[in-house]
Structure 1
Amino acid sequence: MAAEGILSIQSHVAYGHVGNCAAVFPLQRMGYEVWAVNTVQFSNHTGYGVWKGHANSVEQIREILAGVEERGAFGRTRAVVSGYLGDPRLGDAVLETVAKIRAARPGALYACDPVMGDVGRGFFVRPGIPEFFRDHAVPAADIVTPNAFELAYLAGRSIDSLDDALAAAAAVRATGPSLVVVTSLELPGAAEEILVLADTPEGSWLVRTPKLPLAVNGTGDATTALVLGNRLATENIPQVLQRSVSAMYELVRRTHENGSREIELVAAQAAYQDPPRLFEVERVR
């Protein structure tokens, strides 16, 4: 019997770990088959300021997706994951694919990382992308993983406290997703911590980890992959949150310890299935 898998539609770089190069390996290490559709083929991520390569056209990506569908993979797809979108038309192609997969495989999940911007940087995507995420992609998703800046935009409100974050996550969840995982949440009174919040109709949970002094690319892509992989393994959301955040902390810790400009994705691989330190989960609603 042919294997089931996850369809990951994201960017690709030859050097380093962002997009599919940050998401595919953790999912494979967790035991999942992954079918990667690369939206760009770059030498390295754009955080370096210079790069080589090109973006695939929407037509090329549609053609690749059609070929994957012809192999019968859509009926064996357990989940779709998407991240950065360079063009709203690509977003349309992603959502069309999600609809086809749900028709072929009822119950398939769609995990959307609504990459738009960050605190201190503001929006860094093309015009039309934030609106596409807010009005189309997020309502179509089962799982969304915004950072604090993206959550504030999606909910249309500022976030200055845990109560604000809970209200914003509930507002986003009301548009469609059943699980909202808020990453990189920094709140007053917790300057030395990074908080990750998981909000569902049944309750909300929080995990706190020490804040490490580094800024690298690809952490959001890896986090979304870990959340999806753990969610496919169990419906126990506190466990999903704990294992995902604990594995991600080990990845960031190793990256900081080694002074790396790129996340230490391979060095931390054992943590994806068995995090060496499990952080406490706190129920907040």
Structure 2
Amino acid sequence: MNILSIQSHVVFGHVGNAAAVFPMQRLGVEVWPLHTVQFSNHTGYGSWKGRVFDGFFVDELLEGLAQREILHTCDGVVSGYMGSPDLGYAILGAVERVKKENPKALYCCDPVIGDVGRGIFVRQGIPEFMAEHACSVADIMTPNHFELEYLTQQSIHTKEALKHAIESLHAKGPHIVLVTSVHLEDTPHDALDLVVSEQGQLFRIRTPKLDIVLNGTGDTITALFFVHYLRTRCIKTALCNATSSVYGLLKKTELASSREILLIAAQEEIVSPSWYFEAVPL
């Protein structure tokens, strides 16, 4: 399996491609990482060095891949933090080019916009790009609670409201929606829910809420879910496997009091999770 991963990258730590590429490789996938950003570290540290690349850079690298005559072997494209709207258009152009060579390829878009408690933290124009353009192209979208509310312009506090919002996002384009973190009225204060939906089937999985806040967890779970779905074509299996692995990684990270996900030290959690969580119909 070959996956083109178009995301940000950091020299130190694990966000963007630095949080997604290794987990996919650990599952035996050939990953083609294309960096939209190269920073010294993620912005959560308050200071960083580096730069955001432009859309022409993405176009140039795609042209190089096309010259190798390998795009027809690409099974999927995954994207995350974009940095600027012009990068978004370049990514959609890359998706179009891959799908032209391989119509069976899928596009998984993590619509990085913001988060509960932080609000919108991306550049102006990116949220609008996600809502107006990315939604109509993506086969799979993986918003968090805040991003689902933004994309659908709906407030989500109950199961009924969540289902309605997911249906609204489906109507925009993606046939699979994975909500990577959601807290509803019936979610215990010490738990976290994830929900996946496809063709009227909805599953929820619940894990204990860990006393840890990390950057890059959404990038990792999106990557793992995408790989497991491409292999099984089963949203329930993909959700259970991805969630169990990410929980294991985070639990080991919490026990080590690390500020960065222990992707390397706890890598066995990717292939053989210590904890397994079962999804149930929502």
Q: TM-score, normalised by structure 1?
A: 0.96
The CA deviation string for residues 47-82 of structure 1, in whole angstroms up to 9 with x for no partner, is: 101111222232222211211121122111000000
CA distance in 2 between partners of 1:23 and 1:57 (Å): 21
Superposed counterparts of 1:72-87, under 5 Å: 72-87=69-84
The CA deviation string for residues 73-102 of structure 1, in whole angstroms up to 9 with x for no partner, is: 211100000001111111111111111111
Q: 1:247 matched to which residue of 2?
A: 245
Q: 1:201 matched to which residue of 2?
A: 199
Q: How far apart are 1:273 and its partner, in Å?
A: 2.2
1:26 aligns with 2:18: no
1:157 aligns with 2:151: no
1:218 aligns with 2:188: no
Q: CA RMSD in A?
A: 1.1
CA distance in 2 between partners of 1:211 and 1:257 (Å): 14
Greater CA drift, 185-194 or 25-34: 185-194
Q: 2:90 matched to which residue of 1?
A: 93
SS in 2 for 1:215: coil
1:227 aligns with 2:225: yes
Greater CA drift, 199-208 or 273-282: 273-282
Does structure 1 retain, via aligned residues, the 8 Å contact 2:56–2:90? no
The CA deviation string for residues 188-227 of structure 1, in whole angstroms up to 9 with x for no partner, is: 2421110000011140000000001111100010011011
Does structure 1 retain, via aligned residues, the 8 Å contact 2:253–2:262? yes
CA distance in 2 between partners of 1:246 and 1:44 (Å): 27
Does structure 2 retain, via aligned residues, the 8 Å contact 1:199–1:205? yes
The CA deviation string for residues 126-164 of structure 1, in whole angstroms up to 9 with x for no partner, is: 111111101111221111100000001111100011221
CA distance in 2 between partners of 1:134 and 1:203 (Å): 23
Does structure 2 retain, via aligned residues, the 8 Å contact 1:18–1:221? yes
How many residues align structurally? Answer: 281
Q: 1:283 matched to which residue of 2?
A: 281
2:274 maps to a residue whose letter is: P
1:78 maps to a residue whose letter is: D
SS in 2 for 1:166: helix
Does structure 1 retain, via aligned residues, the 8 Å contact 2:111–2:147? yes
4+ aligned runs moved over 2 Å, structure 1: none
CA distance in 2 between partners of 1:234 and 1:166 (Å): 24
Contiguous gaps of at least 5 residues in structure 1: none
Contiguous gaps of at least 5 residues in structure 2: none
Q: How far apart are 1:267 and its partner, in Å?
A: 2.1
Superposed counterparts of 1:46-65, under 5 Å: 46-65=43-62
Does structure 2 retain, via aligned residues, the 8 Å contact 1:152–1:158? yes
